[in-house]
Protein backbone atom coordinates (compact mmCIF):
# COMPACT_ATOMS: atom_id res chain seq x y z
CA UNK A 1 0.00 0.00 0.00
CA UNK A 2 1.59 3.27 -1.04
CA UNK A 3 2.07 6.06 1.50
CA UNK A 4 0.01 9.17 0.78
CA UNK A 5 2.53 11.91 1.57
CA UNK A 6 -0.03 14.70 1.18
CA UNK A 7 -2.20 13.22 3.95
CA UNK A 8 0.88 12.61 6.12
CA UNK A 9 2.08 16.21 5.87
CA UNK A 10 -1.37 17.63 6.49
CA UNK A 11 -2.11 15.39 9.48
CA UNK A 12 1.37 15.70 11.02
CA UNK A 13 1.20 19.51 11.51
CA UNK A 14 -2.35 19.17 12.74
CA UNK A 15 -1.18 16.58 15.27
CA UNK A 16 1.69 18.81 16.40
CA UNK A 17 -0.59 21.82 16.82
CA UNK A 18 -3.09 19.79 18.84
CA UNK A 19 -0.29 18.30 20.97
CA UNK A 20 1.14 21.73 21.77
CA UNK A 21 -2.32 23.08 22.51
CA UNK A 22 -3.25 20.34 24.94
CA UNK A 23 0.12 20.19 26.64
CA UNK A 24 -0.04 23.97 27.14
CA UNK A 25 -3.25 23.57 29.14
CA UNK A 26 -1.46 21.90 32.02
CA UNK A 27 -1.83 24.09 35.09
CA UNK A 28 0.92 24.09 37.71
CA UNK A 29 0.11 25.17 41.24
CA UNK A 30 3.21 26.67 42.84
CA UNK A 31 2.28 25.46 46.33
CA UNK A 32 1.98 21.89 45.06
CA UNK A 33 5.22 22.02 43.06
CA UNK A 34 7.26 23.79 45.74
CA UNK A 35 5.59 23.18 49.09
CA UNK A 36 6.95 25.26 51.91
CA UNK A 37 8.05 23.38 54.98
CA UNK A 38 5.63 23.55 57.87
CA UNK A 39 8.10 25.76 59.65
CA UNK A 40 9.96 27.71 57.01
CA UNK A 41 10.88 30.45 59.45
CA UNK A 42 8.89 32.98 57.47
CA UNK A 43 6.10 33.03 60.04
CA UNK A 44 8.32 32.62 63.07
CA UNK A 45 7.54 35.27 65.66
CA UNK A 46 10.23 35.50 68.33
CA UNK A 47 9.40 39.07 69.32
CA UNK A 48 7.74 38.14 72.61
CA UNK A 49 9.76 35.17 73.83
CA UNK A 50 8.46 35.27 77.38
CA UNK A 51 8.84 32.26 79.64
CA UNK A 52 5.21 32.04 80.72
CA UNK A 53 3.54 32.54 77.33
CA UNK A 54 5.88 30.81 74.86
CA UNK A 55 8.87 29.05 76.44
CA UNK A 56 7.22 27.05 79.19
CA UNK A 57 4.26 25.90 77.04
CA UNK A 58 6.82 24.71 74.45
CA UNK A 59 8.80 22.83 77.10
CA UNK A 60 5.62 21.33 78.54
CA UNK A 61 4.53 20.03 75.15
CA UNK A 62 7.93 18.79 73.93
CA UNK A 63 9.88 17.87 77.08
CA UNK A 64 7.73 17.25 80.13
CA UNK A 65 6.45 13.85 78.97
CA UNK A 66 9.87 12.56 80.07
CA UNK A 67 11.30 15.42 82.13
CA UNK A 68 8.59 16.34 84.63
CA UNK A 69 9.18 16.26 88.37
CA UNK A 70 7.37 12.92 88.69
CA UNK A 71 9.32 11.23 85.87
CA UNK A 72 12.60 13.19 85.54
CA UNK A 73 14.15 10.88 82.97
CA UNK A 74 17.93 10.95 83.22
CA UNK A 75 17.59 12.80 86.50
CA UNK A 76 16.51 15.95 84.66
CA UNK A 77 13.30 17.77 85.45
CA UNK A 78 12.17 20.67 83.29
CA UNK A 79 9.11 21.40 85.35
CA UNK A 80 8.99 25.02 86.43
CA UNK A 81 11.23 27.99 85.81
CA UNK A 82 13.94 27.02 88.34
CA UNK A 83 14.53 23.61 86.74
CA UNK A 84 14.53 25.00 83.20
CA UNK A 85 17.00 27.69 84.27
CA UNK A 86 19.41 25.05 85.65
CA UNK A 87 19.43 23.22 82.29
CA UNK A 88 19.82 26.49 80.42
CA UNK A 89 22.73 27.68 82.58
CA UNK A 90 24.69 24.43 82.35
CA UNK A 91 24.27 24.41 78.54
CA UNK A 92 22.36 21.14 78.40
CA UNK A 93 19.08 22.67 77.23
CA UNK A 94 20.42 24.07 73.97
CA UNK A 95 23.04 21.36 73.50
CA UNK A 96 20.42 18.63 73.53
CA UNK A 97 17.79 20.36 71.39
CA UNK A 98 20.41 21.45 68.82
CA UNK A 99 21.70 17.84 68.72
CA UNK A 100 25.24 19.06 69.41
CA UNK A 101 28.07 16.55 69.72
CA UNK A 102 28.49 15.31 73.28
CA UNK A 103 24.79 15.75 74.13
CA UNK A 104 21.92 13.27 73.93
CA UNK A 105 19.69 14.55 71.13
CA UNK A 106 16.26 15.54 72.40
CA UNK A 107 13.44 14.87 72.25
CA UNK A 108 14.69 11.31 72.42
CA UNK A 109 13.11 9.16 69.75
CA UNK A 110 11.27 12.17 68.35
CA UNK A 111 11.81 14.77 65.68
CA UNK A 112 14.18 17.63 66.37
CA UNK A 113 12.47 20.85 67.39
CA UNK A 114 11.67 23.13 64.48
CA UNK A 115 13.99 25.98 63.56
CA UNK A 116 11.35 28.39 64.84
CA UNK A 117 11.09 26.64 68.22
CA UNK A 118 14.88 26.66 68.58
CA UNK A 119 14.98 30.34 67.56
CA UNK A 120 12.34 31.10 70.19
CA UNK A 121 14.40 29.42 72.93
CA UNK A 122 17.58 31.12 71.70
CA UNK A 123 15.86 34.53 71.75
CA UNK A 124 14.64 33.94 75.30
CA UNK A 125 18.13 32.88 76.45
CA UNK A 126 19.84 35.80 74.69
CA UNK A 127 17.40 38.17 76.43
CA UNK A 128 18.59 36.88 79.81
CA UNK A 129 16.36 33.79 80.30
CA UNK A 130 13.98 35.82 82.42
CA UNK A 131 11.05 34.45 84.41
CA UNK A 132 8.56 36.66 82.62
CA distance 61 to 50: 16
Cβ partners under 8 Å of residue 68, min gap 6: 77, 78, 79
Most confidently modeled range among 41-55, 66-80, 82-96:
82-96
Q: What is the pLDDT of residue 39?
A: 47
CA distance 17 to 113: 52
**Mean pLDDT over residues 96-105, rounded?**
94
Model-wide pTM > 0.75: no
User: pLDDT confidence of 37, banded at 50, 70, 90?
Assistant: low
Amino acid sequence: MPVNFKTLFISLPGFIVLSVFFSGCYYDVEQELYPKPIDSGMNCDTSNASFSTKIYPLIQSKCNNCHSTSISSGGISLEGYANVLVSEQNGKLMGTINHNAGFSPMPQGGAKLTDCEIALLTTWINAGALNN
